[in-house]
Structure 1
Amino acid sequence: MTQERAVLAGGCFWGVQDLFRGYDGILSTRVGYTGGNTPNATYRNHGTHAEAVEIIFDPARISYRQILEFFFQIHDPST
């Protein structure tokens, strides 16, 4: 089975992860921090990092485009 990866930052990673977790074609999710300058970012010290969700998915069941379409239904990038 082919697997692909998407990393999306959309506010609270727990909420985004929960919404994606049950979506058909999503194989696994993992939360963390991305894009910042703090080494070994943690919940208490993440500096300029954004909260993000890594999504491992099966492209035969869901496309990257479908993932982005769903993401932008649950996240408003203008806020």
Structure 2
Amino acid sequence: MKRLRDFFQRDQDASANVARERLKLMISQDRMQRNQPDFLPRLQKELIEVIRRYTHSASDDIQVSCHALPHRSQIEVNVSWPKNTS
């Protein structure tokens, strides 16, 4: 009987760790969004529009993210596009 209880207890511990990590990620993203410049949402939208124009990618294939570093901010763009872009 003790083994069965231990089995379920380990799952609770693992899910608690996952939940804790997700919460940390959500808090850091919220802090980053509060400190981002006013022009950033417009810049992200324009970057996606230009990339779509040249690569014929779907909006879901383009991810733009901003990272706050100690002395500067950084924009990261990840794009997937079809092989034939003619």
Q: Which has the higher strand share?
A: 1
Give the TM-score of the pair, scaled to structure 1: 0.35
Larger Rg belongs to: 2
Q: Which has the higher helix share?
A: 2
